[in-house]
Amino acid sequence: MRMYGIPLKQSMGSRQMLGRLLLCASGACFIAACPGPGARAASRADRAAGAVIFKQHGCEHCHGPDGAGTERGPSLTTVGKRLKKDQIELQIREGGKQMPPFGDVLNDDEMRELVDYLAHKKKAPRTLPGS
């Protein structure tokens, strides 16, 4: 018996091989997507600590309460949507675009918590009618 000009026995073997290949490829994609040993998800506690650092280290002096923005600094309410964590960290560490560098002000844990806090800011807060 033939299927598409290929003997059916060969076709079944090819299907099995293709199925196994696809299974292996999907497994490899899954493993590649898993975070590495150094990667970790930000916890609520880390974000809360980041909010405290935001206030304590004067970020709100330029960016306003909760990062809403002022004349001195832009709004950070959607910074997590616009920038990746490494980009946020680079901006904080090295400054630029009229922002001073804070790399020598924050230790590694403070930097990580602040970046986690800012990276979580993806949606602008809703404004109430009449405000």
Residue ranges covered by each domain of the chain: 2-33, 44-119
Using one digit for the tens of pLDDT, what is the confidence trace for 12-46? 566 676 566 556 566 555 555 555 444 455 677 87
Q: Which long-range contacts (CB under 8 A, 24 or more apart) does 48-51 make?
A: 48/117, 49/113, 49/117, 50/113, 50/114, 50/115, 50/116, 50/117, 50/118, 51/117
CA distance 44 to 2: 61
Using one digit for the tens of pLDDT, what is the confidence trace for 78-118? 999 999 999 999 999 999 888 999 999 999 999 999 999 99
The model's pTM is 0.63
* CATH node for 44-119: 1.10.760.10
CA distance 94 to 104: 9
